[in-house]
Amino acid sequence: MPSPGRPERGRLAAESKDALASLRAQRLPLGWYARETEAVARALLGCALVHGDRAGVIVETEAYLGPEDLASHARFGSTARNAVMFGAAGTTYVYLCYGVHEMFNIVARDRREAGAVLVRAVAPLVGLPDDARVGRGPGKLTRALALSRAQHGRLLDGDGLFVAAHERVRPRDVVRSPRIGVDYAGAWAARPLRFIIAGHPAVSGQR
């Protein structure tokens, strides 16, 4: 006899498949990232970050600029670790922080020497528990979406890993603040380069 829960699981699987297909149709082109890093950090709010059969709505980002930004990895110049920050817009930059947390970034720059956006938090959308805490913070979101350094250096133009247009976030619902954990960066620590959806329960740190 079929399990009572099986039809429900089948329905949810079909809904997830349809949702992912819809997101693929809204995938952002690589040229979308080839503009000012701050503009991309703001515009990513409300977009969906998709990896495999999982997706989350981006609710918090931070912009990191070129060598002049003392909080940015680019301050060291191009190295084996950060070389992608100086490369093509729309490329992933994934690194290990404190030997524990994988951090997911997207290269975004126009004429600047380097730039990337750290995705700090996502809200559940597809394939994730309906719990705002699951992607609340950059380390949690990479675990939730099964992202790691294995995805480093990839262009966001495939079906398996991409960003899609999803929700429009009104200007009045966006808050800017200093970035988190960059006190070492002097005056750059106070720059309002963190972008959040105001009051969203999935935002990390101070909401």
List pLDDT tens digits, range 1-24. Answer: 445 556 666 666 788 999 999 999
> Cα–chain-centroid distance for residue 32?
14
Q: Which domains are assigned to the chain? A: 6-197 (3.10.300.10)
Q: What is the mean pLDDT of the chain?
A: 93
Structure confidence by residue, pLDDT tens digits, 141-173: 999 999 999 999 999 999 999 999 999 999 999
**The pLDDT of residue 112:** 83
DSSP state of 97: E
Q: What percent of the chain has pLDDT over 90?
A: 87
Model confidence, pTM:
0.92
Structure tokens at 197: 């959806």
DSSP state of 108: -
**The pLDDT of residue 8:** 66
Residue 83: partners with Cβ closer than 8 Å, 6 or more residues away = none
- With cut-offs at 50, 70 and 90, classify the pLDDT of residue 75: very high
Count of Cβ atoms closer than 10 Å to residue 61 Cβ? 27
